[in-house]
């Protein structure tokens, strides 16, 4: 059923949300009924201004879910045009720092600059 599909997706979206990352999008928004592109592209954003909220326009909304026999149909509204690849680059950098892969003590940029001097 559509409700079972939503339940499983909610489990996944909760597990994939990383609150350590300032620009991480909120949990996937499930819409009961028809999707409105202009409204739902901002789901989970406190503001529609990326200068005030790094996750603005990075939302994923899923709606119009139908299960018929073995067929699943749904629509997704996702918009990353405001931040685009640069926004996801920032998100990746935040993840690298949060996971401790790179920090001030092993910053490759600083090492390279010291070698030049």
Q: Is residue 30 helix, strand or coil?
A: strand
User: Does residue 105 sit in helix, strand or coil?
Assistant: helix
Q: Give 89-104 pLDDT, tens digit per residue.
A: 777 788 778 877 766 6
As a residue count, the chain comes to: 117
Nearest Cα neighbor of 14 from 3, 4, 29 is: 29
The whole-chain average pLDDT of the chain stands at 73
Domains held by the chain: number: 1
pLDDT band at 81 (very low <50, low <70, confident <90, very high): low
Residues with Cβ within 8 Å of residue 107, at least 6 apart in sequence = none
pLDDT of residue 37: 84
Domain range enclosing 86: 2-116
Q: What is the mean pLDDT of residues 69-75?
A: 86
């Amino acid at each position: 059923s559509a409700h079972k599909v939503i339940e499983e997706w909610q489990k996944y979206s909760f597990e994939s949300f990383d609150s350590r990352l300032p620009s991480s999008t909120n949990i996937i928004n499930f819409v009961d009924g028809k999707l409105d592109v202009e409204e739902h592209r901002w789901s989970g954003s406190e503001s529609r201004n990326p200068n005030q909220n790094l996750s603005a326009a990075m939302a994923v909304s899923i709606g119009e879910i139908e299960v018929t026999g073995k067929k699943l149909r749904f629509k997704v509204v996702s918009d990353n045009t405001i931040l685009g690849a640069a926004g996801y680059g920032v998100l990746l950098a935040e993840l690298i720092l949060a996971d401790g892969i790179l920090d001030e003590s092993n910053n490759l940029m600083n090492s390279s600059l010291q070698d030049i001097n």
